[in-house]
DNA sequence: ACACCTTTTGAGGGTCACTGCCATTTGGCA
DNA sequence: TGCCAAATGGCAGTGACCCTCAAAAGGTGT
């Protein structure tokens, strides 16, 4: 299991997120940072390749390190757990910002709908094959599915803050928490359904549909 | 992480669940089964005691085995992972049965409400201190929180079947999945909130409130 | 170009959950 | 009483992850 998601310098040191989804961060960026990004990407690539060849469980950190030409220690410095190499998700802060940027009089559910569908559409457009790989793995490997679920729970409490602010409540208000948890759960189920269907459907439309279920008060 | 939740004879062999929440299974039960139940309980008790003394992470399987006077192998034969010793949850099949027993014309959300509040009330009445311990640990130990979340996702897809049947849909219908996922998410958040508040509030009422949020279409 | 400081890296040793395998014991039963 | 299947214990892995320390490399001022 994820023993301790220790501090990994790369994550805390870097401006925010390397392959930033929407905007760009074009500050000079010295050789040092460029190298770090390269290493990070190399580890990722090596991981995906090895997993494609041998499967997730059969792929060891040692192999990944060798393939990426770094030491095992370095792999752990870049990613706190093996699962995170596959799943690392840089979109949380972006989504929070996007959420805050929404008009204040918009119903919260609609704000979240806009943010989520926007994010999904953006990822789907920029890195479609990466998205496919990740989703497939999430479905196949229990450890990754679990980690993903956990990540979404974290995202849920992250989004609770702006939602609570807007509704004039506390972020730990049970109603606020259920709100974000339900929305993230809907996203999760949409993603899984999409993956199980071979990723042919329109994921954005699926997300929209699932959010409609919530909006309708879970009438079936 | 939970490497492989292999088959553990105890779980598959036993009638269903040893400390069955509502009903009882009073079939004869030979010496063999009685002994197994004893061992199971001994492992559990030892685990709780050791964790109370030293914390979850500091407690090793070896210590647990020694305290329960069995071998480490035996511990793993009874519980697939360390997390499961703390969290094992025997209520799923009971809940599914209770759900199926609900009147067919009842709105699905209300059926689930009845089943969940009933289950919570029952546990709270029969094993209050056990419930307290588990909830506290769930909040404190990330590994346990993660495992719990995963468990609830599984319960969610378990409940999807009866719900789908009733609604005349497929269990993997995205709307059905969102439905149960949202409900289980609400339960989770209610539980967490309860735990964070020192377990003083009325948990059943909390669950009710969170389900109302869902019923209202997530208007905040 | 050189020394100086900080960050990054590699190496090695250790822990512990978890897996198989196999020999032994033990309850259940003819 | 003797046989079979289930349950147990012991043992030897495997692999993720932690910790610490010394070497290497980037960045900066002279």
More confident residue, B148 or A220: B148
Nearest residue of B to residue A186, measured between CA atoms: B178
Task: Tell me which chain B residues have a C-beta less than 8 angstroms from the C-beta of A172.
Answer: 193, 196
CB pairs under 8 A between A and B: 146
Note down pLDDT in tens along chain A; length 220 residues: 444 434 444 333 333 334 444 334 455 667 788 999 999 999 999 999 999 999 999 999 999 999 999 999 999 999 999 999 999 888 899 999 999 999 999 999 999 999 999 999 999 999 999 999 999 999 999 999 999 999 999 999 999 999 999 999 999 999 999 999 999 999 999 999 999 999 999 999 999 999 999 999 999 8
pLDDT of residue A89: 80
CB within 8 Å of B109: residues ≥ 6 apart:
A217, A218, A219, B179, B183, B211, B214, B215
C1’ C14 / CA A1, Å: 18
Name the residue among B177, B109, B126, B116 with its Cα closest to residue B22.
Answer: B126
Backbone φ and ψ for B175, nearest 5 degrees, come out as: -70, -40
Proximity of residue B180 CB to strand D below 7 A: no
Give the Cα separation of B159 and B161 in Å (integer).
5
Q: How far is the CA of A32 from the C1' of D25 (A)?
A: 9
Predicted TM-score (pTM) of the model is 0.89
Cβ atoms A179, A163 nearer than 8 A: yes
What's the pLDDT tens digit per position in B160-192? 999 999 999 999 999 999 999 999 999 999 999
Per-state percent for chain B, helix, strand, coil, to nearest 5? 70, 0, 30
CA separation for the pair A146, B102 (Å, rounded): 31
Q: Is there a contact between A1 and B143 if contact means CB atoms under 8 Å apart?
A: yes
How many beta carbons lie within 10 A of that of residue B184, not counting itself? 25
Taking CB atoms and an 8 Å limit, are A215 and B210 in contact across chains?
A: no
Distances (CA, A) of A178 to A88, B53, B189, B192: 25, 34, 6, 11
* Contact flag A189-B177 (C-beta cutoff 8 Å): yes
Q: Chain A partners of B160 at a C-beta cutoff of 8 Å?
A: none
Nearest to A51 by CA among A189, A124, A143: A143
What does the pLDDT read at residue B32?
A: 83
């Amino acid at each position: 299991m994820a023993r301790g998601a220790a501090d990994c310098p790369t994550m805390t040191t870097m401006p925010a997120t390397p392959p930033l989804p929407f905007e760009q961060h074009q500050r000079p960026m010295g050789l040092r940072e460029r190298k770090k990004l390269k290493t990070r990407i190399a580890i990722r690539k090596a991981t995906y390749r090895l997993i494609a060849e041998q499967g997730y469980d059969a792929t060891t950190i040692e192999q990944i390190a060798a393939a990426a030409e770094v030491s095992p220690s370095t792999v752990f410095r870049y990613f706190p757990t093996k699962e995170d190499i596959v799943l690392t998700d840089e979109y949380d802060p972006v989504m929070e910002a996007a959420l805050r940027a929404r008009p204040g009089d918009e119903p919260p559910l609609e704000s979240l709908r806009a943010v989520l569908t926007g994010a999904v559409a953006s990822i789907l457009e920029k890195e479609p094959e990466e998205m496919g790989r990740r989703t497939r793995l999430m479905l196949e490997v229990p450890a990754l599915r679990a980690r993903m679920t956990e990540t979404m729970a974290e995202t849920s409490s992250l989004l609770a803050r702006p939602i609570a602010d807007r509704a004039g409540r506390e972020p730990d208000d049970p109603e606020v928490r259920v709100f974000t948890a339900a929305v993230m759960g809907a996203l999760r189920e949409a993603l899984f359904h999409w993956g199980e269907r071979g990723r042919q459907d329109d994921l954005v439309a699926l997300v929209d549909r699932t959010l409609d279920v919530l909006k309708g008060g879970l009438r079936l």
